[in-house]
Each structure stands twice: as C-alpha cells, then as structure tokens.
Chains A and B, each alone.
Chain A
Amino acid sequence: MSELLQAVIFGVLTGGVYALMATGLTLTFGVMKIVNLAQGAFLILSAYLCWTLWAQLGIDPLLGSLIVTVPLAALGILIYRFIVERVQRVDHRLTIVVTFAVALVAEAVIALVWGPNPAAATPPYFNEAFQLGSVSVPRAQLYAFLLAVAVTAVLQLGLKRTWLGHAITAAAENPEGARLIGVEPKKIGTWIFAIATATTAFGGAALSFLYQFTPDSQDTWIGLTLSVVILGGLGSVTGAFAAGVLLGLAESVTSAYISVRWAEAVPALLILLVLLIRPQGLFTLAARQDAAA
C-alpha cells in the first residue's frame, strides 16, 4: 500500500512538472494550431542556461529561471516573426516542419556551446526528502511541482483577467471574429510565442535539477510534452495540468510495477492510444467546429 502511495505521490509531483514543461506547447497549439517542435530544444536550452547560472554564479535554478525568461521570450519573438509567421502564410502544414528544423539547429548550437556531456544542477535540496511516515516526498520534486502550480495559476489568471488573455482566448475560438473586433493575429501570435517560450524557462529550471540532460535529450522531452498536450486536449492550460499528472502517474506506476525501461515508452504509447480512442483529448468539452456562415 505504501508502495502505491509512494508511486502516486511521485507521479503527481512529476506530472505537475511535465505539465509545466508542456505549457509552451499547449499555448501555441491551442491558440494558433501550431505545433512548435522546437519547444523540446528550448526546454534544454533553458536547462543549460539555468545550470550555467547555478554553476558559474551560484544562483539557484528556481531563481535563475526568472532571469532566463528574458532571453527565451526574445527567442520566441524572433522565431515567430522571422520564421513561423512567414511559413504560416504560405502553408500552415509546413509550420511543424520548420519548427522541427529550428529544433535541430538549436540542438546543434547547444551542443557546440556546451558540448555533448551530460549536465545536472545539484542545489542543496537536491536528493533530500521530507519524511511523512513511511512515505518520502523529495524536496526537489516538491519545489518544482509548486513552481508548476504557481505558473499555471498565473497563466490561468492572466487568461481570465487581462485584456491580452481575453484576446488570446477570443483568437483561439474564432480568429476571424477576433480580427473583426481589432485583435490582430500577428500581434497576438507574437505575444503567445513570447509567453510560451518564456514559461519554458521554468520548465527548463525544473529539468536542470531533476534530470540529467544532454543536447540530444530534447528529442525525449518533445515527445513527452507532445503527449501531455495531446492527452490534455487543445490548448487548455488546466487540461494540460491534469494530463501531466496522469502521465506522471502512468510512468511511475509503470516503473514501480512493470519496469523502469517500459516507463520510457509510456508517452508515445499514450499518444497513440488517445488518438485512437478520443482524438479530441481527455479533458476537453465538445467545441463548436463549424463556423456559422
């Protein structure tokens, strides 16, 4: 019983982190129907930046992530304005191909700057745990989870309470209508990309002290975050959170009861299963698909 409880706690904490890592993908996918495959590389880039701040200047990754949001937001804006937005005008289907190209280039640049060796930050709370009876709650996981909750809450509030949030929601539901009332898609797109890549900094910070990472581990992380987005359904921030937790649970239960190696296959398997059974995602309501003529 305590083994299951331990798996559940670990799964929930990890899942929150997965949701945090997938937030950027959720935003671009949900609002703009753009799958930004470069998010995996941006996640690794953030992890390296947080790690460098920690290793060189002793800045805790949780704090360092705030600094890293700035270059990441700038990167998002550049990628959108100079690449994605241009491709989108020609052929929407090619946006995923071009972001794939960006991912490869980013991986190459990361490898050239930081080299191919694995890195991981080890702040003081690394490898420590709170003991609750027979169950232990790892501190690093817990802090990352709290960070995920905070980021999700702020994003959710921002979407509900600010003009920009309303504009983003409107553009997601009805792009043409949003344009008619003065919500310019290009402007909204720039904002979304900036926010999406900026939040990746937090996911990267969590990654930097929770896992070892190498430039080519972006491949694993894009697969994992894609599966969170697909599970959660289009672009719902809270849906992505629920999906992240579900994925974390599925992984930790798989490693506890089947094998650690099969846990690695869980994200890809879930993508295939969900698309087979419920392609609209697990946590979405039926939305009106036909625009009124």
Chain B
Amino acid sequence: MTQTKIRRMLIAAALAALAIFPLVSNDLYYQTLLILTFLLAIGATGWNIMGGYAGYISLGNSAFIGLGAYTTGILAAKANVSPFLGCLAGGLVCAVTAAVLSLITRRTRGMYFIIVTFAALQLLGIVATIWSGLTGGSQGLALPLPTWSLTYQNWPFYYPLLALLVLAVAVSAWVRRSKLGLGLFAIKDDEDKAAGLGLATGAYKLIAFVLGGTFLGVAGGIYAYYVTFLNVSAVFDIVTSMLIVLAALLGGRGTLWGPVLGAFLIEPLANLTSTSLGGADAGAIRLLLFGGLLGLVVLFLPRGLLPTVSAWKNQKQDDPERTRLTPAGHVSPERRKASDGTVLTVRALSRSFGGLRAVDTVDLDLPPASVTGLLGPNGSGKTTLFNLIDGTVRPSSGQLTLAGRRLERASRQARAHAGLARTYQLPRLFPSLTVLENVVLAERRLSLARLFLPRVTAAERARAVAVLADLGLARYADASPAALSYGQRKLIELAQVLWPDPALVLLDEPAAGISPALSQRLAGIIRRLRADGVGVLLVEHDVAFLASLSDQVYVMANGKIIASGTVAEVSADQAVIDAYLGDQVALAVASPVEPAR
C-alpha cells in the first residue's frame, strides 16, 4: 500500500516538474528535447497496447507518425486548417488505417503482422513520394509558420504533447484494468485458446491497434507543425519505428510505465548523438549505436528494465507453498435446462490432410444430458475430430449442427457462443492472468460494452471464488497458474470452460496423468454436468473410467467410426477388439461394477 503511495507521489512530482519546467526555464534546448521525448513516449505507449499487451510487435509504427504529420500538413498548407485541428484529423486517418491493416491481417498471426506493418510503412513512403501533387513528393511540404508571439517559445507544442502523453498513459492504464486488457493479455499467451473461449480476438486486436495508431497520428500532426517542414524520407523513417520499439523494449513491454521510462532514456541519447556527431559518417554511427543497443536489449534484457527490477525484488519473497486438493464440491452453480433431441449432430464429416483422411465420413449424435465416450487407438482421428468440432480445423466436407445451428463453417467464437466448450489433454491456462482471471475469461457473446468493464466484476469475483472454493483452490485465486500442480491446472481449465454454462463439453483425456482421488472427483463433476442437462463428449484411454461414465460409446479407427452403442455392445464387437481393445480390456469391462466410480 505504501509502495503504491510512494509511486503515485513520484509520478505526481514528475508530472508537476514537467508542467512548470517551461515556465521557469527558457532554455530552448531542453524544451526541444522534452518535446521530442514526449513524442517518443506517446509513440512507445501507443505501440505497447498492441505490442506489449497483445504481443503483436509492429515494426512500422512510424507510418502512423508520417500519416498524421502529412494529414495535418496537407490540411494546413492546402486548406488552411489550423494544425491543432488538423492533428485530430491525422489521428482519425490513422485510426482508419489501423483498422484496415487489422482487417488485412485478421486471418494471420505473429510474424505476418510484423511483415504487414513493415510493408505498410514502405508502401506509404512510396505513395507519398509518387503523389507529389499532394505531398510535395521528394521536394517536401512546408507548413505555415506559427503565428504566436515568440515569448511563448515552444509552449503551444510542449503542453499539447504533454497532455497527449498523460492521456495516452491514462488510456493505457484503463486498458490494463478493463476486460479489453484481460483479453489482450490472453491473446498474447494463447490466441487459439482465447478464441475457443468465445473471445472476439479480432475485435480486441483491432481496438488495440487503432488506439495506439490514433495517439501516434495526433502526435505526428503536432510534430508536423513543430518542424514546419515534411519530407518523405524523414517522416516515414524506419529508424523512428526502431526507436519506438527500442524505447518500449528497454523500459519493459507490457508494463504501463516501461515505454515512458524507455523514451526518457532513449531520446536524450538520440539527441546527444545527433548534436555531437558530425561528418559524413554521422548517420552510420547513429545507426550502429541504436541498432546495436536494440540488439543488446533483446539479447540481455528481453523483458525490459521494469519487469527485470520487479522480478529481482520478488525473488526475495518465498514461493507460495502448494497444497493438495481437498475432496468434495462441484463446479456448476446454475445450469440451463435440457432441451429435446440432440445437442450435437455430425453428418459425414471428413477432413483430409494431403492424401491422409484423418477423419472419414463420421456421423455422431449426442443427446443432451448424456455422456458419450470416444475410443480409439492413437492416430485414429479423435483429436482431429475434436478440432473439427471446435473449429480449430475446417472440415473438407460434412455437416455439424450444435443446438440446432449449422456450424461447420462458423468461427471458433461463434461455436463457443453457441454453447461449445473444450478442454485440452495438456491444460492450456493463461500464465499472464491470475487463476481467478483465467476462470472468468470466457465470453458468451460479442459485446463491445463488456470490454469497458473492469477485468473482473464484483459479481464475477464472488461467483468465481465460490467455484474455486468448491475445488479447494480458493487460496490460489490471485496466484499465477504456474503455482498450480498439473492436476490442479486441469481442474481450473475445466472450471474455465464451464464458466459460461456450455451446452456441450468436449473433454480430451481429462483423467490422463492425474491421481486416482482426482479422477474420482472428475467423474463426480462429469455426472453432475449430465444431471444438469449438458452433453459431454469424452476422449479417454482409461477404459474403466470411460465405461463407468458413458451412456454410449463411439469407437474410431483410421478416421472412421467402426462401432457405436453401449459399452457392453461395443466391447463385444470383433472389429473393436481387433482394432483397439484387445483381450484384457474385455475382462475389465466384463466386471464394470467397481473400478472407478
């Protein structure tokens, strides 16, 4: 608590010092330096929303500075619009551009995003050069000179940029605390999983990229007026992008203050080199210096200053001790009522990879309030079938109907919203989020208003704590999932996917690798789900476990369903025995009364 107070006072003092600095000092060198520092800090803070929180690194962010600068400059030079209004237009143009780029990259991940931002920067530079009627091309574009009295010095640039920086940090802080930020951090950790939980990942990324781009655009507009002369190679310079990334990485990407700290370290250095270095080699030496610095930061300080310092401080505290699970309890507080018919219907579903038919004309019917087992040797297509049902993989042909809706072409989000949930053989929790945040992450529908809510609302917290208490894990609510054991993580993942009250749950080897006590509790949870009207599809190699729970069983081999029916019927089937079960399992099923209840 006191630490927070100290930090707040430090921030307030720094802000006050920056606010009164131009009033008490008329040193233009430092005013200029601070103006450029604010610009870089705004850029790095904006970059951080997408690059730090969502993990989508961009190397083309100076494109937004250039776009904002040219929008403002063209409006001022051609239409006589005041640059202080024009810079808002610059922000708007950047917001639209960021949205378009997001749409272009909506189907791609990781590296491709970096390449797109890189290409966009190049393209804008080329277009600005060619379109010389508008931009002045390689001749450059002159803006009207400021008209205010010289006694105001650079105040009209200094204060708007300072205000913009404060606003950028405030927005960044708000993003961190909102559901938007929670989703962005989840995307950074595991985007596929986040989509499977119903998060509209595309919308999250679009908003993050637009926010960052807008700030850069407005800052670029103010910068244009400040330098009063724009030329393409300076404004769309990749080195500016590099400085933005360097500042954010140095301070600590993903932290609130890291990018600001980085900018306050980098810009003075950049300024120093540009004033002290001269001659033909000056440019090359600067490049060497900052390229080298970027390389060194990535190599030796990949997390940045702030996270490294806080990790070093935390080392002195002990790790939270682990506890075993206590038995009893259940997951579901309230449940929808069972509907008639089937919750999932699969017809002639197929998927080929090259010449391999991984899933071959599969038919399934899953009634609600039932547990269906899926058996088959390794490589028989069970996981691919799961991936087809949850949308990770698109089918080559066939139909998929979930709760009356055709979904074989639907996105993962749409399937989650229709009531589908899925756990993984190896649990996939989000390490950047707390256990409790993991539990409440899932979304039932797309709602923009929801993104403005705090990360965890009071009602969600109360319900999630109850869920965790039921699992005997309440004390880990605010811990990292890394503090949990493997079995505990499996339970948390189950709680996570059950959070939005799904109609159908796919469980991929839930009992694999966990203790007998835990697998009994798991069986209890699955029975309760059935009682609450949920359809459960279960892949499990532990045949006794599966037999004790399943109302019906499907057996897969080589991508096809080779048998279906009750456990007893299937285990008597010669094809099944040949393909999978073997003699000893027939014994296990012959006395299915006890093994694991």
User: What is A's interface to B at a CB cutoff of 8 Å?
Assistant: 29, 33, 35, 83, 86-87, 90-94, 96-98, 100-105, 107-109, 111-112, 115-116, 215, 219, 223, 226-227, 230, 261-262, 264-265, 267-269, 271-272, 275-276, 279, 285-290, 292-293
Contact = CB atoms under 8 A, between A and B. Distances in A.
Contacts of B245: 97
Contacts of B283: 111, 116
B290 A104 contact: yes
B295 A223 contact: no
B291 A105 contact: yes
Contacts of B290: 104
A271 B508 contact: no
A269 B123 contact: yes
B35 to A, nearest CB: 25
Nearest to B108: A279
B162 to A, nearest CB: 29
Given A97-B57, A112-B288, 10 more contacts: A93-B110, A104-B287, A108-B285, A111-B287, A215-B284, A269-B123, A275-B105, A285-B354, A292-B379, A292-B384
A115 B238 CA distance: 20
A272 B108 CA distance: 11
B126 A35 contact: no
B280 A116 contact: yes
Interface stretch (B114-122, B194-202, B429-437, B450-458): B114-122
A271 B302 contact: no
B383 interface: yes
Contact of B281 (A29, A112, A219, A227): A112
Given A98-B298, A215-B284, A35 B425 contact: no
Contacts, number: 152
Q: Which residue of A87, A230, A289, A290 has the most chain B CB atoms within 10 A of its CB atom?
A: A290
A177 B129 CA distance: 50
A29 B291 CA distance: 22
Given A262-B130, A287-B353, A290-B384, A104 B291 contact: yes
Interface in B258-299: 280-281, 283-285, 287-288, 290-292, 294-295, 298-299
B299 A104 contact: no
Interface string B492-527: 000000000000000011000000000000000000
Nearest to B115: A226
B418 interface: no
B55 A93 contact: yes
Contact of A230 (B115, B291, B392): B115
B378 interface: yes
B19 interface: no
A271 B291 contact: no
B253 to A, nearest CB: 10
What 4 A-B pairs have minimum CB-CB distances, sorted nearest first? A104-B291, A101-B295, A108-B288, A268-B123
Nearest to B124: A268
B57 A93 contact: yes
Identify which of A103, A264, A289 gathers the most chain B CB atoms within 10 Å of its CB. A264
B287 A35 contact: no
Contact of A271 (B115, B130, B299): B115
A287 B111 CA distance: 18
B354 A265 contact: no
B383 A293 contact: yes
Given A87-B302, A276-B104, A223 B383 contact: no
A275 B116 contact: yes
Nearest to B384: A290
Contacts of A275: 104-105, 107-108, 112, 115-116
B107 A268 contact: no
B545 to A, nearest CB: 18
